[in-house]
């Protein structure tokens, strides 16, 4: 049985299914580590035109996704999963910013229902009735929630045990300890007169770990200094960073 089930409510199920068939997510699905099911609100409409949108009350441009077909799709998605460890998330520019900490906590669930909005959004009463949280990729607007849903699926799947070839890969990703990732190098050793840092060739794992943490801190200080106030480091890492800062 898969340890995580994703249910995506979307008007474009093919977009989700096709994009999820590659890389880490595709392998995780094939290996039954995660399940992915899509639900199309058009399948729950009650008119022959399969109408899922209508003009907004009060006027204005665009259309709004209708309450009934969207609610029925969400309810059926919820019934198919685990009610004890489930969250229904609406992907919206108004939502909570997506962070690595949020993704890690999401792995405690067994079912994540992702609602991909379209047009001008969805009926506010549906948000009040069915949505647990709203999540956002950032302070910008895209055409629909499908791309955001795919980002969430990929990011969470990486954290599912067994999804990566080496679980340490996920633990060493950027943001996992509050810092950005360190630089990485591979063969050949010399390119255009630039060589790999000698410490990475030393075989001294303690010094390599120290160098990587130092570089992560420098990267974060240079590119995302705002993160330094929110670091969650172990006592050992904190002591090492203090030493690094003193010498920098």
Q: Is 224 a catalytic residue?
A: no
Give the C-alpha separation, 139 to 238, whole Å.
32
Give the C-alpha separation, 44 to 219, whole Å.
49
Question: One of 120, 134, 154, 181 is an active-site residue; which one?
Answer: 120
At 25, give phi and psi (nearest 5°). -65, -45
Q: Is 120 a catalytic residue?
A: yes
Question: One of 72, 134, 154, 173 is an active-site residue; which one?
Answer: 173
The closest alpha carbon to 216, from 204, 233, 202, belongs to 233
Question: One of 56, 93, 154, 221 is an active-site residue; which one?
Answer: 93
Q: Are 141 and 95 in contact (CB under 8 A)?
A: no
Q: Is 93 a catalytic residue?
A: yes
Kindly give, in sequence order, each residue whose CB lies less than 8 Å from that of residue 229, ignoring residues fewer than 6 positions away: none
Q: Are 110 and 82 in contact (CB under 8 A)?
A: yes
Q: Is 158 a catalytic residue?
A: yes
Q: Are 173 and 204 in contact (CB under 8 A)?
A: no
Question: One of 5, 41, 130, 158 is an active-site residue; which one?
Answer: 158
- Residues with a catalytic annotation lie at 93, 120, 158, 173
């Amino acid at each position: 049985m898969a340890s995580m089930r994703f249910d995506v409510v979307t008007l474009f199920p093919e977009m989700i299914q096709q994009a999820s068939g590659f890389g880490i997510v595709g392998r995780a699905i094939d290996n039954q580590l995660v399940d992915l099911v899509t639900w199309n609100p058009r399948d729950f409409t009650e008119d022959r035109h399969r109408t899922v949108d209508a003009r907004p009350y009060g006027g204005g441009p665009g259309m709004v996704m209708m309450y009934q077909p969207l609610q029925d799709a969400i309810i059926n998605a919820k019934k198919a999963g685990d009610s004890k460890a489930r969250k229904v998330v609406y992907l919206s520019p108004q939502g909570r910013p997506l962070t690595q900490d949020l993704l890690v906590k999401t792995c405690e669930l067994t079912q994540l229902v992702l609602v991909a909005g379209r047009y001008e959004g969805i009926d506010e009463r549906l948000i009040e009735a069915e949505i647990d949280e709203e999540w956002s990729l950032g302070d910008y607007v895209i055409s629909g929630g499908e791309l955001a849903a795919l980002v969430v699926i990929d990011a969470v799947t990486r954290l599912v045990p067994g999804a990566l070839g080496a679980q340490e890969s996920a633990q060493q990703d950027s943001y996992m300890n509050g810092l950005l990732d360190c630089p990485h190098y591979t063969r050949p050793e010399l390119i255009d007169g630039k060589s790999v840092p000698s410490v990475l060739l030393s075989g001294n794992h303690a010094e390599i770990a120290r160098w990587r943490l130092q570089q992560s801190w420098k990267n974060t200080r240079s590119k995302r200094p705002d993160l330094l106030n929110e670091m969650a480091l172990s006592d050992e890492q904190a002591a090492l960073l203090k030493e690094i800062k003193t010498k920098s």
